Structure 1
């Protein structure tokens, strides 16, 4: 299977880390898409991903899966161990809740802030709205306070073990380095300690 990915972009990194935690990354052919060169907007790539988004996974039957969560769900079904998305209906629901909270309320404001304030991303975000970007940076800190409180009472984002929610949160907080956000420097010490544990995992090196 071909996995179309992009270096340094957080959503492709989520899939790469997920597959690395599954210890199956070597079963996928990685195809890098150069976002700065606008390769994701080419006709050839749009034939695979009509909305010009990465990652995209070409299945053996020729169909293409896009959307990070969908690709991870597919991989979880193919390679059920180690489990990262829940072993029964209740655990799956709570892990999905945590993952979606992190994605929508933590990762999304980070993305908006960076895309609208970082000059290096201007070619990918036209027009940029710097004031909107700065407001999203403030929302990030509100959610970081919530996440820090969660990690003061439990070791991982969704509870007692590492799950897909930790991968999403880690890729988000690493992307936030582009806006000079560092959890420890902001007083979020539990969040910083969790980030450091995640960074020490082999999957964080992909």
Structure 2
């Protein structure tokens, strides 16, 4: 099996970190999204919407979307549990994963796409939308700051996929000048923990 990947993009990085946490080695095939390689007929046959990452199994079956790929590997190799182990943990992890994805990861992505015009050859940037998305992302950092006053990790006392998504979000946010500051002591503490994990280099 192999994963079609783009090293500079935040979404594929989530999968790489997830697999590194589980100790799963993988063949990665690099796709140049700046040049639009992901939009080729060959790649759209693997994922009709032309996004990476894509997991291709040995029989040719393809699974796209980072959450779906991670879910597949969690089922294959549950430990360490990154989606939670008990019913309660699973519910809490997925709750925070969804909130981080919608309120931080996607907002930063929209801020990047609509503010920078990086993909203007294939979409119509709306600068006002990009600005608003950035504002929304900054607001959600306050939510995470309050959450991390109560727990070591975002979904509770165990590291999870919600931490991976938040970490990749905050790292990528620097390209649109959204950074942690003095008003984020708990997030800064948590972020340093994330950076110190070997998987952060994946």
Q: TM-score range by the shorter chain?
A: over 0.9
Structure 1 residues without counterparts, runs of 5 or longer: none
User: Within 5 Å, which residues of 2 pair with 1:82-93?
Assistant: 82-93=80-91
Q: What is the DSSP-based 3-state SS (H/G/I as helix, E as strand, rest coil) of the residue aligned with 1:176?
A: helix
| Number of the residue aligned with 2:160 | 163
| Number of the residue aligned with 1:108 | 106
Work out the number of aligned pairs and report it.
Answer: 202
Q: Distance in 1 between matches of 2:115 and 2:86?
A: 42
Contact 2:138 2:178 in 1 (8 A): no
Q: Distance in 2 between matches of 1:53 and 1:62?
A: 17
Once the two structures are TM-superposed, the CA of residue 123 in structure 1 deviates from its matched residue by 3.8
Q: Residue 201 of structure 1 is aligned with which of 191, 197, 201?
A: 197
TM-score normalised by length of structure 1: 0.94
Structure 2 residues without counterparts, runs of 5 or longer: none
Once the two structures are TM-superposed, the CA of residue 142 in structure 1 deviates from its matched residue by 1.2
Q: What is the DSSP-based 3-state SS (H/G/I as helix, E as strand, rest coil) of the residue aligned with 2:3?
A: strand
Contact 1:115 1:124 in 2 (8 A): no
In proportion to residue count, which structure has more helix?
1
Q: 1:149-198: per-residue Cα shift (whole Å, max 9, x none)?
A: 0011111010001001000000111110101111125x112112211110
Q: Residue 29 of structure 1 is aligned with which of 18, 27, 30?
A: 27
Once the two structures are TM-superposed, the CA of residue 125 in structure 1 deviates from its matched residue by 5.4
Which aligned segments of 4 or more residues in structure 1 are displaced greater than 3 angstroms?
122-125
Contact 1:6 1:33 in 2 (8 A): yes
| Number of the residue aligned with 2:149 | 152
Contact 1:109 1:137 in 2 (8 A): yes
Q: Residue 124 of structure 2 is aligned with which of 122, 127, 131?
A: 127
| Number of the residue aligned with 2:184 | 188
| Number of the residue aligned with 1:50 | 48
